[in-house]
């Protein structure tokens, strides 16, 4: 009796496997390739130009420190101009603003660097600007 059940169990197992596999050959398991989709191109980058904000006149009684030596990295493009660093005065102390490359506005020819002018009463700050 035990031998007969083992044989019957083996036949049932093999039969179940054949039944499960019988549907594998007649259907396509590969999904269809994805359809191309249209992606809206990114908008063109906006170029901004440095224009100093109008500000109150800055006058201090002590002369600014001498200019610092600056490493000037390679020019990013022929349209860029080096804007040199300068000293600025805030809350009774001097701070250095590092230089950087900036794109020249189309209607301007050159950059006038920021600087300090001794006016006889103190040192007046003149912001850098395009001319």
Tens-digit pLDDT profile for the chain (131 aa)?
A: 555 545 444 444 555 555 555 555 555 677 777 666 665 665 655 444 454 455 678 899 999 999 999 999 999 999 899 999 999 999 999 999 999 999 988 887 789 999 999 999 899 999 999 98
Q: CB under 8 Å to 100, separation ≥6 — which residues?
A: 82, 83
Long-range own/partner contacts, residues 62-67 (CB < 8 A, 24 or more apart):
62/123, 63/116, 63/118, 63/123, 64/89, 64/94, 64/116, 64/123, 65/94
Q: What are the residue boundaries of the structural domains of the chain, listed by start?
A: 59-130
Q: Write down the pTM of the prediction.
A: 0.55
């Amino acid at each position: 009796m035990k031998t007969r059940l083992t044989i019957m169990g083996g036949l049932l197992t093999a039969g179940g496997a054949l039944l499960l596999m019988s549907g594998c050959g007649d259907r396509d398991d590969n999904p269809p390739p994805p359809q191309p989709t249209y992606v809206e191109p990114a908008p063109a980058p906006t170029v901004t130009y440095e224009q100093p904000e109008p500000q109150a006149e800055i006058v201090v009684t002590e002369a600014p420190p001498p200019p610092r030596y600056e490493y000037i990295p390679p020019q990013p493009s022929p349209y860029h101009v080096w804007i040199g660093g300068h000293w600025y005065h805030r809350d009774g102390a001097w701070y250095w603003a590092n230089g950087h490359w900036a794109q020249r506005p189309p209607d301007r020819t050159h950059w006038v660097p920021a600087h300090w002018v001794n006016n006889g009463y103190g040192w007046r700050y003149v912001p850098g600007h395009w001319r």
